[in-house]
Amino acid sequence: MTPSFEGLILKGVGGFYTVLSPDGPVVCRPRGRFRREGIKPLPGDRVVCLRLSDDTGRLDEIGPRKNVFDRPPVANLDLLLIVVSQAIPQSDPFLIDRMTALAARKGLGAAVCVNKIDLAPAEDMARLYTDAGYPTVRVSARSGDGFDRLRTVIAGQVVALVGNSGVGKSSLLNRLCPNLSLATAEVSLKGGRGRHTTRHVELLPMADGAWAADTPGFSLFDEEGLDCPAEEMDTLFPEFQPHLGLCRFTGCRHTGVVGCAVETAVLRGEIAPSRWESYKRLYDSASKRRAWERNGHG
């Protein structure tokens, strides 16, 4: 075993980081300069460490990051796997669309996993996101239906599972990697909501070279990450792309102006109305944020 090694941070708890080395996991403490410089190591970071005499390690270097999220704290994701359901609890389409837009803004892929098809087939929901251009798979964590396709979608990637609580993220991970035995929570029939069961981000080994990170629900997933200027929001919706530049008026923002090619595509059934409504909500939010910043309140 060499004193210095390259590895992948799997999790961080209490200032200690579990790093996967070529010889297995090593618990490492970062050099003091990271704290002084305001740099926090994150799960997903590629790092260089020094192995110490007691078989722990010292984290010396953090490699370049291709993306980073503050909430949950994780770096270098390849794919957001958006877990949704039309059974209890039903997923809000706007929150799904916000996640697909966030993935595009951060420069990583997005896929939609419709869970609980044993309770609600959700064929229309799956078709909507397939037509919008996202890899979409329907599964049942209870029966295992659809998991061969799901493994193909995530193979070889660092994947964050996101979704409102109760849609079955931990159940999906338990079936994808049975040795994990992650805690799961029952869904309240009264409120239709599940309890969060994941306390921290941890990368978990999957089949076919994939790693998965369980995360809190939508409400905790990087609220500030979608910092896209309003005028660029249309670039985050792939099904809009064939229609951009075809509007009657230059600089059309696709929010209901006469001659808008995007609205025409919605009327023709080429873009789902719910996706257009989500775009308009995101555009409006970004416009208000920009006005707030211009007025010196940002």
Q: What is the pLDDT of residues 78-98, one digit of tens each?
A: 999 999 999 988 999 999 999
Please, are residues 62 and 47 in contact by the beta-carbon 8 Å criterion? yes
Please, are residues 189 and 110 in contact by the beta-carbon 8 Å criterion? no
Please give the average per-residue pLDDT across 217-244, as a whole number: 83
The token pair at 53 is 């005499």
The token pair at 89 is 């609890």
> Of the ranges 81-95, 129-143, 200-214, which one carries the lowest mean pLDDT score?
200-214
* Neighbouring residues of 270: CB distance < 8 A, sequence distance ≥ 6: 239, 243
Mean pLDDT across the chain: 88
Q: What is the pLDDT of residues 25-67, one digit of tens each?
A: 999 999 999 999 999 999 999 999 999 999 999 999 999 999 9
Query: HSE (CB half, 13 Å, CA atoms) of 92?
Result: 13
What is d(CA 203, CA 145) in angstroms, rounded to the nearest whole number? 24
Residue whose structure tokens are 């579990």: 18
The three-point CA angle 236-147-92 to 5° equals 40
pLDDT at res. 125: 96
Please, are residues 215 and 72 in contact by the beta-carbon 8 Å criterion? yes
Quickly name the fold that domain 4-64 has.
OB fold (Dihydrolipoamide Acetyltransferase, E2P) (2.40.50)
Name the residue ranges covered by the structural domains of the chain.
Answer: 4-64, 69-220, 230-294
Tell me the chain's radius of gyration from C-alpha atoms: 21
Please give the average per-residue pLDDT across 265-288, as a whole number: 96
pLDDT at res. 295: 60
Quickly name the fold that domain 230-294 has.
Ribonucleotide Reductase Protein R1; domain 1 (1.10.40)
* Neighbouring residues of 165: CB distance < 8 A, sequence distance ≥ 6: 89, 185, 193, 194, 195, 196, 216, 217
Residue whose structure tokens are 């790693």: 211
Please, are residues 144 and 172 in contact by the beta-carbon 8 Å criterion? no
The token pair at 169 is 């993220």
Q: Which residues pair with 50 in a beta bridge?
A: 4, 58
Please give the average per-residue pLDDT across 220-230, as a whole number: 74
Q: Which CATH architecture best describes the domain 69-220?
A: 3-Layer(aba) Sandwich (3.40)
Reduced 3-state DSSP string for 131-200:
HCCCCEEECCCCCCCCHHHHHHHHCCCEEEEECCCCCCHHHHHHHHCCCCCCCCCCCCCCCCCCCCCCCC
Burial 101-127 (b: 16+ CB within 10 A, else e): bbbbbbebbbbbbbbbbeeeebeebbe
Q: What is the pLDDT of residues 154-194, one digit of tens each?
A: 999 999 988 888 898 888 988 888 676 555 544 433 444 44
The token pair at 7 is 């590895």
